[in-house]
Chains A and B, each alone.
Chain A
Amino acid sequence: MLFNSLVFLFLFLPVAYFGFWRLHTKNQRYIWLTVASYIFYGTWNYKFCALMAFSTAVSYFAGVGMLGAAEPRRRKLFLIIPVTVDLALLGFFKYFNFTVSTFAQISSWLHVPVHAPSLDIILPVGISFYTFHTISYMVDAYRGVITPTRNFWEFSCYVSLFSQLVAGPIVRFRQVEGDLENLDQADRRRWLNIGWSFFAIGMMKKVLLADTIAAVINPAWKNVAHLSTLGAWLCVLGYTYQIYFDFSGYSDMAVGLGYLFGIRLPQNFNSPYKALNISDFWHRWHISLSTCLRDYLYIPLGGSRVSATWLVYRNLLITMLLGGLWHGANWTFVFWGAYHGVLLCFYRLFRNSWDRLPDILRATGTFLLVVVGWVFFRSENFSMAAAMLARMFSFSAGDLFPGLAGLLVVLLISACVAHFAPNTFEIRHVWKPWIVAGLCAGYSAALLAIASGQQSPFLYFQF
């Protein structure tokens, strides 16, 4: 079930919403949200509900176990076992075939061909996200940052909350703990305006901008070898804005839905294309992931407080490589992560010189580096990425693609919004009537587009 589908908007959401506000106690609301979220999740593949329930139960009992364990070794055991279980599940479903095929490829390069079994594994939607929820919960509990909850329904509600279940933001327990604890005190009207405002803006970003761009560039990406230089740049720029509006649109909708149910979710995008350097970009792009990587990987590795400078670079590269791998079982994602890791290292090396450049140059330079990175992220393999880069930098003639006029218009709007407009967390969401009318018109246009039945899934669902 997609947020941008009629069944979600006209059946699931109203039932979940009115049912939720008819209930009064915390537990009733936790249970209601949990059940609704499992139904939401089950519409993709009901069999994977059991997997999520298992992961939830393991983490819950680990948290409860930590509460009762005073001995450090026992506490550590309550961390290591469930985290291993969660990572094993993630590893199996997401990376098993990738690992096996990589092993087979390496062995064939070494002229020792090995028959590698390939399992028919379906990747459970959102597993990367809810696994991070449970792991962050256990690590935070172990570190004493949070007190694990004894209420199973509160925890299951946190893990499975439908608004952020399948594509984030990756919410840490401490970020929503307060709202969950006071769920029975939540006031339906308090965040109604802001919730709907976020939801409508997110919907418009996804349906009107991201999907329109996708309609033009997706066919062109299938035919990279025949693109002209201009066509190649338009394709890559198109993807740059598509992924931003797709994912930030989803995040806005998730935040909006959270508000509608009295739960405030954290910001996931802070105008990333306004970044002045690559480090700044990672403080603005997919914030919930980058902070997770920082807190649970980079800092435990030593972060920047290490004895030798090269260790900082090593930590940066490891963090970004694994961040790339988190996105998917493909070497192009790993390369994308490595590319950003190298950029971060370079920035650290030449920070003083870079920071002296005028803002416009820094912003443009950072944006172009990010754009080049998206080539690897979007490409299905390295040949495709190489072909696209070759078209971009070879000044070659070739085909332009149908729909160019529409693409240029949407790119112009997208660029204005991404580079110059305030983001959804910067605006106050107290609108003048004519802006509300405009929002309604845009939202109606999005609904009409959805009504055609051609809605596309969010890009980040695949991760």
Chain B
Amino acid sequence: MPQVHDEMTQARETWSTGWLLPRVMLCFFVLDLALRFVPLGPLAFRAWEAMLRHYPNAIGPFIPNKHYHRDVSYGGVASIGNLPALRHTHPADFTTDALGFHDPPALSRGNPVGIVIGDSFAVGSELREDESLTAQLTRRSGAYFYNAGAPQPLHLRSLEQVAQRIGLRRGYVIFEYLESRALEDPPAATPDGGGGKIQTAIFRALGPDWTDRLGTPLNQLHASPLEVVSIKVEKRLQNNSLLPNSFSRFVIEEKLRNGEPIVFLPEEFRSPADPRKVADRWARYFGWYADSLRKDGLQLIVFLVPNRPTIYGPLLAYPRDVSRAVSTLAELEAGVRRAGVEVVSLEPRFSNEAPSMLAERKYLYLLDDTHWSGTGTAIAADELFHLIQH
């Protein structure tokens, strides 16, 4: 057996592995850590990643007072699956206000009458700025609705701060609630909080202020530009000729009845096992949320948005059963209503309109992304406007 054990080597020379390799690792580590505090703009293909960075004095999750523009942007799901052929490219603009929300100053009109909270659907991810829910609602109603969308719907305390800063004394809080949120527990630091006993206890002890303050820097540290670069390189190499595309396993490729390809994330198809239990839990949360807002003179409206498969599952070339998703939304709607909170579900209207639009190649959602399209937000704004009017 060849032996190298007794090889006595010293590690002092610069060009030795013992000197150089640990330093390579150190450089890699320092570079990775440092880059985590640098905006991701140059590496991002859309506004979300480029703009998502919390600033100390802002309440919102985005870089305040900044305009992002990119000539060629495309949907996140096609990107996750590394499927360039399925990209639907479009220019992207994203303007934030002083609070760090996607609320372009050009669209604001004096004092708002309402505020929209929710996730990336409420933010208007992947949409033209004039197509976001708040922009459409403002245009439809003639009254200004403020866009306070964030990766996660705002906690009550943050919402109260926003309302105070934008001068909303009385009015509406529209809570955009995506169907897939039913798979999660209501947020911690609430009377009906989930997220594990320890987490809940810590958040309750710290209070909602710190829940937000701690969460955002941790998120910031989580995004590694080196990881982004590495994934980009891998995606380039995995072009099915040099190497197979291993990223395609993260998505589900389907075809609509009209032959148009559409790409989903597997989690979009997931529904809770017990819709009634979930509905009851969220209804209690919304009941508490509405009561708290009422003290500030604000009225809560919960706005249920179906996942893409719930609408397009039956319209696929090989249709899928979406009955559980539909019943989840119905249970949620009934539960929230029972809790005394105004609620509107988009599912019936979307399910009605989607088939006829399919023939015209118009879509309520993007085909390469999880989010809704401008057509979808227009209908959503219409539904909300009718509710508010009545």
Contact = CB atoms under 8 A, between A and B. Distances in A.
B342 to A, nearest CB: 42
Nearest to A426: B2
| Residue from B4, B12, B224, B246 having most chain A Cβ neighbours under 10 A | B4
Given A9-B25, A192-B11, A452-B230, A439 B17 contact: yes
A441 to B, nearest CB: 9
A428 B9 CA distance: 10
A406 B244 CA distance: 9
Interface string A250-286: 0000000000000010010010000000000000000
Interface residues of A, number: 50
Interface stretch (B69-77, B212-220, B234-242): B234-242
Interface of B: 1-5, 7-12, 15-22, 24-25, 28-29, 32, 224, 226-227, 229-231, 233-234, 237-238, 240-246
Given A200-B21, A443-B24, A451-B226, A425 B238 contact: no
B4 A406 contact: no
Contacts of B245: 402
B18 A195 contact: yes
A403 B18 contact: no
Contact of B244 (A193, A219, A444): A219
A191 B9 contact: yes
A237 B12 CA distance: 42
A191 B6 CA distance: 9
A449 B234 contact: yes
Contact of A428 (B4, B15, B238, B242): B4
A190 B229 contact: no
17 contacts: A189-B11, A197-B18, A215-B243, A215-B244, A219-B244, A270-B2, A287-B1, A405-B242, A406-B237, A423-B2, A425-B4, A430-B7, A431-B16, A436-B15, A449-B230, A452-B227, A452-B233
Given A431-B17, A452-B231, A193 B246 contact: no
Given A216-B244, A402-B244, A440-B24, A193 B11 contact: yes
B7 A448 contact: no
A207 to B, nearest CB: 12
Contacts of B16: 193, 431, 436
B227 A453 contact: yes
B351 to A, nearest CB: 36
B17 to A, nearest CB: 4
A150 B8 CA distance: 31
Nearest to A427: B4
Contact of B243 (A197, A216, A430): A216
Given A193-B17, A200-B17, 11 more contacts: A192-B18, A194-B4, A196-B18, A215-B243, A267-B2, A401-B244, A431-B15, A436-B16, A436-B17, A443-B24, A452-B231
A433 B25 contact: no
Contacts of B241: 402-405
B9 A194 contact: yes
B4 A454 contact: no
Contacts of A396: none
Contact of A196 (B8, B17, B237, B244): B17
A204 to B, nearest CB: 11
B9 A440 contact: no
